[in-house]
């Protein structure tokens, strides 16, 4: 939605005004916003910006090998740190190569400032070389967009862009800078106070709404919390833990909510939804009160909508964005505001529910159908690999995933204990996301172990970014679960298309160890279960980046699974069905 934007700037002028170019204003503004690193790829219409970097030693830029790698790296940086990620690309194809990454960030509410070059203003609208209307192209997938026509506006625009991206419901903001504007010389005046008329960040929580929720909790006997990515983005994990322990309400998490509530807590039910665990899905289907906290009730969580939570007498929704309330599932109770603030108030009054019998019922579900798989003494099962990685890292690593079967195995079998420890593309499901996102996460968290979990399909979409891991010695541990097939597509064709397999064979993929070595990265490979632990430990003991390929069975599927058009309690468990 278009917003009327105004700011006040410092109008003081002296005889010693500093005259600098728009490009220098941009770099200075980014540094003033606390930007630690920018990921980008140069081209003709951003060359003034890149030329200005030569004279700015404090400005850190990492040259990726593809614009999509740049924006996914910025995204991984943002998700793992809670700060705004920044990337730069040139006009035309450089800008359009960012579109998938912008959409990824938009659907998952990730704060990014995306800077694109454009052709000079004098030739705009003439179909000039490498001209594309990136503002119009990305308008549905950005929180706000700026076309800069005067370099004097840049200090204000940069300041506003960071505020918009990282306040309220977070999201990507685009700044498009024509080439002549980036070379325009101005008397520099830093931005001052922000006043964005028509734009509101987080609304203040309404105590009456929260009190109504607490009353509903007191009346409930079978309550369940659905904790989503909003808990993580609001830095509200501790408040959620306090609320859960005070009320004794069990917690199911969405994919993006993993880590927002510790998986080893006695009240953790695990992930719910399309590939959710039995206990979590059955809890939702039998609850009398559903409390969604920072989850948007997307279709992978609810599955068949008219069969979702049929026993619930009330559904409550806590969210920062009023537009999400009753969008997919009608909310009987709504608490609008920053989740951290809502829970902080709720914790001043929260009391234990009479849910002892309910918790016993859930324990029965867990005993009846625990999460399990059929292991092998010889073949490397992917579930085993994820359990091994979880145990050796003690759940303390930052894990990034690509999209596919390995993503779901990671969600199910890695024990996430801390917020911002899972970096994955949820809403858009972007293949190629996982590895460059790990690079951004490692740059933002240089003292943390970062493990990138990939399939053999997604790994090939951004494998070229191994070059920057080697050059900058970014010590990501790159795991490739190689089943020589597009696994999730195969699984759906097997179960829903009567085994009519079409265009899923990846047997012609490269030797990943040799590919890593070609980029200057150590490569390791395990083909038997006996090799797996040894190879993984060698990777952990090796400084710098390492690629580890685990050859897994082609026929292995992800279970549990709820088929499209069915309800959460109609699960295919795999080992029984």
Place 154 in a pLDDT band, splitting at 50, 70 and 90: very high
Instruction: Identify the active-site residue in 130, 361, 484, 492.
Output: 130
Place 575 in a pLDDT band, splitting at 50, 70 and 90: low
| Distance from chain centroid for Cα 132 | 27
Q: Dump pLDDT digits (tens) for 373-410.
A: 999 999 999 999 999 999 999 999 999 999 999 999 99
CATH code for the structural domain at 207-369:
3.40.50.1220
Q: Dump pLDDT digits (tens) for 210-234.
A: 999 999 999 999 999 999 999 999 9
- Rounded to whole angstroms, how far apart are CA atoms 59 and 458? 31
Q: Dump pLDDT digits (tens) for 253-298.
A: 999 999 999 999 999 999 999 999 999 999 999 999 999 999 999 9
Place 576 in a pLDDT band, splitting at 50, 70 and 90: low
**Per-residue pLDDT for 195 more than 90?**
no
How many Cβ atoms from other residues are within 10 Å of residue 533's Cβ? 15
Q: What is the pTM of this model?
A: 0.95
DSSP for 233-285?
A: HTT-HHHHHHHHHHHT--EEE-TTTTTSS-TTSTTEEEE-STT--HHHHHHHH
Q: Identify whether 222 is a catalytic site residue.
A: no
- Rounded to whole angstroms, how far apart are CA atoms 535 and 531? 6
Report the CATH architecture of 382-559.
3-Layer(aba) Sandwich (3.40)
Q: Identify whether 36 is a catalytic site residue.
A: no
Instruction: Identify the active-site residue in 129, 266, 351, 473.
Output: 129
Q: pLDDT over 70 for what percent of the chain? A: 97
Instruction: Identify the active-site residue in 67, 387, 465, 549.
Output: 67
Q: Identify whether 67 is a catalytic site residue.
A: yes
Q: What is the pLDDT of residue 15?
A: 52
- Rounded to whole angstroms, how far apart are CA atoms 410 and 399? 9
Stretch 117-141: mean pLDDT: 97
- Per domain, the residue ranges of the chain are 19-187, 207-369, 382-559
Q: Which of 407, 464, 471 is nearest to 436 (CA)?
A: 464
Q: Identify whether 297 is a catalytic site residue.
A: no
Task: Give the residue ranges of DSSP H helices in 82-206.
Answer: 93-96, 99-107, 134-138, 154-165, 179-182
Instruction: Identify the active-site residue in 24, 39, 162, 179.
Output: 179
Common-topology check for domains 207-369 and 382-559: yes
**Per-residue pLDDT for 553 more than 60?**
yes
Instruction: Identify the active-site residue in 488, 491, 525, 529.
Output: 488
3-class state of residue 168 by DSSP: coil
Stretch 440-453: mean pLDDT: 98
- Rounded to whole angstroms, how far apart are CA atoms 187 and 21? 9
Q: What is the pLDDT of residue 193?
A: 80
CATH topology for the 19-187 domain: Rossmann fold (3.40.50)
Q: What is the pLDDT of residue 439?
A: 98
Stretch 74-86: mean pLDDT: 98
Place 574 in a pLDDT band, splitting at 50, 70 and 90: confident
Q: Dump pLDDT digits (tens) for 448-474.
A: 999 999 999 999 999 999 999 999 999
- Rounded to whole angstroms, how far apart are CA atoms 227 and 280? 12
- Rounded to whole angstroms, how far apart are CA atoms 8 and 173? 20
Q: Identify whether 130 is a catalytic site residue.
A: yes
Q: pLDDT over 90 for what percent of the chain? A: 93
Residues forming a β-bridge with 319: 336
């Amino acid at each position: 939605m278009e917003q009327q934007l105004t700011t006040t700037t410092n109008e003081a002028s002296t005889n010693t005004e500093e005259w600098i170019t728009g490009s220098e204003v941009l770099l200075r503004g980014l540094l003033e916003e606390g930007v630690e690193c920018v990921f980008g790829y140069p081209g003709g219409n951003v060359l003034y910006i890149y030329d200005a970097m030569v004279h700015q030693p404090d400005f850190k830029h990492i040259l990726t090998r593809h614009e999509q790698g740049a924006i996914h790296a910025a995204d991984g940086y943002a998700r793992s740190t809670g700060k705004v990620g920044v990337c730069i690309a040139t006009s035309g194809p450089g800008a359009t190569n960012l579109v998938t990454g912008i959409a990824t960030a938009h659907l998952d509410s990730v704060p990014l400032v995306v800077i694109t070059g454009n052709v000079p203003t004098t030739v705009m609208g003439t179909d000039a070389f490498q001209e594309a209307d990136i503002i119009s192209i990305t308008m549905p997938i950005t929180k706000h967009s700026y076309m800069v026509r005067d370099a004097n506006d840049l200090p204000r625009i940069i300041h506003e862009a960071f505020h918009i991206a990282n306040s309220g419901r977070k999201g990507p903001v685009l700044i498009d800078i024509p080439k002549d504007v980036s070379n325009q010389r101005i008397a520099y005046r830093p931005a001052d106070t922000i006043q964005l008329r028509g734009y509101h960040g987080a609304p203040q929580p309404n105590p009456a709404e929260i009190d109504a929720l607490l009353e509903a909790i007191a009346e409930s006997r079978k309550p369940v919390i659905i904790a989503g990515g909003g808990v993580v983005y609001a830095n509200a994990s501790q408040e959620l833990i306090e609320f859960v322990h005070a009320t004794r309400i069990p917690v199911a998490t969405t994919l993006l909510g993993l880590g927002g509530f510790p998986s080893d807590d006695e009240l953790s039910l695990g992930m719910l939804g399309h590939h959710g665990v039995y206990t979590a899905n059955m809890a939702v289907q039998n609850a009398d009160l559903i409390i969604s906290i920072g989850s948007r009730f997307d279709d992978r969580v609810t599955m068949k909508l008219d069969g979702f939570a049929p026993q619930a007498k009330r559904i409550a929704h806590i969210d920062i964005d009023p537009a999400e309330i009753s969008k997919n599932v009608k909310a009987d109770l709504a608490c609008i505001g920053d989740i951290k603030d809502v829970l902080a108030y709720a914790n001043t009054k929260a009391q234990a529910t009479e849910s002892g019998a309910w918790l016993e019922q859930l324990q029965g579900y867990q005993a009846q159908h625990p999460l399990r798989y059929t292991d092998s003494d010889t073949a490397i099962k992917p579930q085993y690999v994820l359990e091994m990685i979880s145990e050796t890292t003690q759940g303390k690593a930052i894990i990034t995933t690509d999209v596919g079967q390995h993503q779901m195995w990671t969600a199910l079998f890695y024990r996430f204990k801390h917020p911002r420890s899972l970096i994955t593309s949820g809403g858009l499901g972007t293949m190629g996301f996982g590895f460059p996102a790990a690079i951004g996460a490692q740059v933002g968290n240089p003292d943390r172990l970062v493990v990138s979990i990939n399939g053999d399909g997604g790994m090939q979409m951004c494998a070229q970014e191994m070059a920057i891991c080697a050059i900058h010695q970014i010590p990501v541990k790159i795991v490739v679960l190689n089943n020589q097939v597009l696994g999730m597509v195969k699984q759906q064709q097997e179960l829903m298309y009567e085994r009519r397999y079409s265009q899923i064979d990846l047997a012609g993929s490269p030797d990943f160890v040799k590919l890593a070595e070609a980029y200057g990265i150590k490569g390791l490979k395990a083909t038997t279960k006996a090799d797996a632990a040894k190879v993984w430990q060698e990777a952990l003991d090796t400084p710098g980046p390492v690629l580890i390929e685990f050859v897994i069975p082609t026929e292995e599927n992800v279970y549990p699974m709820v088929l499209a058009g069915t309800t959460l309690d109609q699960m295919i468990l795999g080992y029984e069905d």
